[in-house]
Structures are given as structure tokens and as C-alpha cells.
């Protein structure tokens, strides 16, 4: 799918590009969705530019301190919909974009993305990450028709949001290793071409880490392009597997836990980056095992008790346990013969698995990179309690039917935790 990404040029700023885009497609009616922070930063200027053309603009500006993509905010946007065929405009980062992509999809209208912070790689996602019944759910929606990256606004975003975007990309170091691991051991679909594209986005951000840390226009442009291309990789592949592994499932686990307890969640990319450090440590522990020790560990490894795992899922995940039990059916229903075959595959691919682990940066490397962009490197900095990240590391592999280093560590009897 081809979704254009517009950056300012010497001839035009992003709003002028937006006007030109709309003119070329005879777009004359709009629904602008923003919040009390993003409206004065960018939304108001966009609205005034559209009104100056004599075009019809409706708007929804959320006034609450914190915007959550839940029923309350979705309904606030939905009730403003009318019979006019409007182009929706998402003025904001991840949450506002998800609200807009869902509402526009359900009202059968397209939307355009105008990010105000380079904080996530989900701008081009076809799915919305929503909170329904206080449970985080991924809901099919639609990607934007185009993304307009207004660099002056993006570079002026809070450094924590810039660091979160960098953290989301940094997590690809884990996601890529987990993806290949899943292909080798669990027959998960894999694309070497898309994996190379994701690797290129990661490498580009690593090279620009100090520019990004300084929030320079050039650094933010490189970060935004990486976030955009990472999102396009997921869109082209058909799901999030190219850019999400154990580090993302841990982040989702923590987000749901915080929501359930009524605690304010830290930025998604910040949690992804922190969790990546813990997963990296598990990869290091795997690297320290030679083949002879692996044989011993695998011989001692017994098929996990399915009933005990189902009880564990119910205890940890509560209301969504039944859906996760269905999701985990390929693992829960594994036979002893199937488990023996899986253990043999681990040995058959031992050298490849070790090579994968060798490509994952060590926790101090993650920490150094995050500090250089102003990111958080401790749970306390993200309002997480002692032991919560370790809890996510132990339980998050039950969240998706995907094979990660956490699943492999369980089979080998590795003890995770920094």
C-alpha cells in the first residue's frame, strides 16, 4: 500500500502541502480531531487555513487532562458525525490518531494524519489500539490516506515523547530477533525483505541518536521517517510481527495492568524501550549456554501442564483470559511428541539461534542510547512499582501466539531478570 509522507520543503510548509493535497482531490469538508494541547500547537492553524479557503470544518477538541482511546472519548467524537462526507484530520500522536482512525472507519470516511510528536510507529497502522471495558484491544480500523509531518511542531514536542519514539524504534532490535526465532522454531511467516527494511530504520536511528537527543529538525525528520517506514513494514506484511516482539507484549501487559489499577500509563515507546533492556538480558543468558548444556537442559525440560497454564492465564489476565486461552491453543494443546519435536528443532537451529542472540545489544547499550535521547532507564522513572517489569517478563508470552525468547527461555529453564 502506498501512503505518502509529506515533509516541509523550501517552497511549502506542511499546511500548504495539506491544502494542495485537498485541492487536488476536491476535498471541501473536514472533521478535525485534537485535544487541548494539540489544537493550539497545530490544529488551530490547520483549521484557519481550511476555513480561509471557504471550506466546511467541524472539530472535536478534547479538554480533559488525559485522553484515553476508550468509550468516553470515542463517543464524544462519534456524536459529532453528520451526513456530510468529511475527510477526518487526526491532529496529535498515537492516542488521537487511534481515536480518529476508528471513528472515521466506522463512519465510512477516510482520514489524514497530522502528527504533533514523533512518539510511535503506528501512524500508518490499519488497526486502532483501544481501551474497551478497561481492557486494551486491537480493533480493525484503517490507515490514513497520507501523513503530513510538520517538522517545526514535531521538533518542539516534549523530549519524553521524542525519546518514546526513539524507544519504539530501539525495540526493533528485540522484535527482529524474536521474529526470526519464531520463523525458525514455530513456522511463523517471515519476510527477509521486510526484515531488512525494519533493520534499516533501526540503523538509521542509531546513527542519528545524538541529533534525535538534541531534538534538531534533521534528527526529528530522521526519527519520523523511521517511525513511518516501520509502520509501513507492518502494513505491507499484514500484521505487527515485523516490529513487535517480547518487548511489545511486555509493554501491553503493563499498560493493561496500569489501566486495571487506575494508574496513569507511561508512554508506550518508553515502556517498550525499558522492556527491551530486560529481554536483552534474557538473550544474553541464552548466549551463555553452549550446545552441550542446551542438550542437558532440553532433556530435563518437560511439557508444561496445560491446565496449570490456563489457570495462570485466568489469574493474571482476568476478563480476557478466555480469548487468550484460545490464542494460546497451539501451545496449550501441544502433545508430548510435539514438544519433543520442538526441542529437537531448537538443537537443529542452535547455531542460527546463537547468531540471532549475538545481534541483540546488551542492556548497558540500550541504557546508554536511551539516556542520550532523554529516555527512562528505570521502572521508577515510568511510575512502575518494583517487580512489575519482571512480572511482565514472566507472563507476557501468554499474550500472543508468537514465539519469542521468553518462550524459548521457559523451555530451556532460563531465569530472566536484570
- All structural domains of the chain, each given as residue ranges with its CATH number in brackets, are 5-156 (3.40.50.1970), 160-412 (1.20.1090.10)
- Report the percent of the chain where pLDDT is more than 70: 99
Q: What is the pLDDT of residues 76-131, one digit of tens each?
A: 999 999 999 999 999 999 899 999 999 999 999 999 999 999 999 989 988 888 88
Q: What is the pLDDT of residue 1?
A: 73
The model's confidence at residue 305, banded by pLDDT at 50, 70 and 90, is: very high
Determine the Cα–Cα distance for residues 99 and 83; give it in Å rounded to an integer: 19
Per-residue pLDDT at 28 exceeds 70: yes
The HSE-up count of residue 20 (CA atoms within 13 Å, CB side) is 10
Q: Report the pLDDT averaged over residues 406-418.
A: 84
Min mean pLDDT across 57-66, 124-133, 266-275 is at 124-133
Per-residue pLDDT at 169 exceeds 60: yes
Q: What is the pLDDT of residues 321-357, one digit of tens each?
A: 898 899 899 999 999 999 999 999 999 999 999 999 9
Amino acid at each position: 500500500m502506498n501512503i505518502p509522507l509529506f515533509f516541509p520543503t523550501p517552497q511549502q510548509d506542511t499546511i500548504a502541502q495539506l491544502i494542495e493535497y485537498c485541492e487536488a482531490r476536491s476535498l471541501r469538508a473536514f472533521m478535525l480531531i485534537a485535544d487541548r494541547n494539540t489544537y493550539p500547537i497545530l490544529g488551530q492553524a490547520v483549521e484557519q487555513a481550511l476555513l480561509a479557503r471557504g471550506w466546511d470544518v467541524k472539530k472535536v477538541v478534547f479538554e480533559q487532562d488525559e485522553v484515553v482511546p476508550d468509550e468516553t472519548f470515542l463517543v464524544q467524537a462519534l456524536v459529532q458525525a453528520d451526513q456530510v462526507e468529511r475527510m477526518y484530520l487526526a491532529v496529535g500522536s498515537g492516542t488521537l490518531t487511534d481515536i480518529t482512525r476508528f471513528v472515521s472507519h466506522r463512519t465510512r470516511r477516510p482520514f489524514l494524519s497530522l502528527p504533533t510528536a514523533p512518539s510511535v510507529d503506528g501512524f500508518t497502522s490499519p488497526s486502532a489500539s483501544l481501551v474497551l471495558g478497561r481492557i486494551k484491544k486491537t480493533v480493525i480500523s484503517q490507515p490514513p490516506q497520507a501523513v503530513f509531518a510538520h517538522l517545526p511542531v514535531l521538533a518542539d514536542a516534549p523530549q519524553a515523547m521524542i525519546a518514546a519514539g526513539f524507544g519504539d524504534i530501539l525495540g526493533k532490535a528485540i522484535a527482529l530477533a524474536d521474529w526470526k526465532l519464531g520463523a525458525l522454531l514455530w513456522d511463523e511467516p517471515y519476510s527477509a525483505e521486510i526484515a531488512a527494511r525494519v533493520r534499516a530504520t533501526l540503523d538509521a536511528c542509531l546513527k542519528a541518536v545524538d541529533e534525535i537527543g538534541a531534538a534538531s529538525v534533521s534528527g526529528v525528520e530522521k526519527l519520523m521517517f523511521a517511525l513511518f517506514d516501520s509502520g509501513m513494514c507492518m502494513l505491507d506484511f499484514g500484521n505487527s510481527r515485523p516490529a513487535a516482539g517480547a518487548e511489545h507484549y511486555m509493554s501491553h501487559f503493563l499498560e493493561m495492568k496500569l489501566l486495571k489499577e487506575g494508574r496513569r500509563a507511561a508512554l508506550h515507546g518508553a515502556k517498550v524501550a525499558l522492556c527491551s533492556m530486560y529481554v536483552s538480558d534474557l538473550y544474553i543468558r541464552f548466549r551463555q549456554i553452549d550446545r552441550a548444556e542446551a542438550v542437558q537442559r532440553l532433556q530435563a525440560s518437560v511439557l508444561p501442564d496445560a491446565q496449570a497454564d490456563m489457570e495462570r492465564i485466568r489469574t493474571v489476565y482476568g476478563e480476557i483470559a478466555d480469548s487468550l486461552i484460545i490464542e494460546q491453543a497451539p501451545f496449550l494443546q501441544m502433545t508430548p511428541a510435539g514438544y519433543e519435536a520442538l526441542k529437537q528443532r531448537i538443537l537443529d537451529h542452535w547455531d542460527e539461534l546463537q547468531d540471532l542472540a549475538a545481534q541483540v545489544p546488551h542492556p548497558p547499550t540500550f541504557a546508554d542510547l536511551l539516556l542520550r535521547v532523554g529516555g527512562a532507564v528505570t521502572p521508577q522513572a515510568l511510575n512502575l512499582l518494583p517487580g512489575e517489569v519482571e512480572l511482565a517478563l514472566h507472563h507476557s508470552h501468554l499474550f500472543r501466539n508468537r514465539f519469542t525468547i521468553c518462550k524459548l527461555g521457559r523451555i530451556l529453564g532460563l531465569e530472566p531478570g536484570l
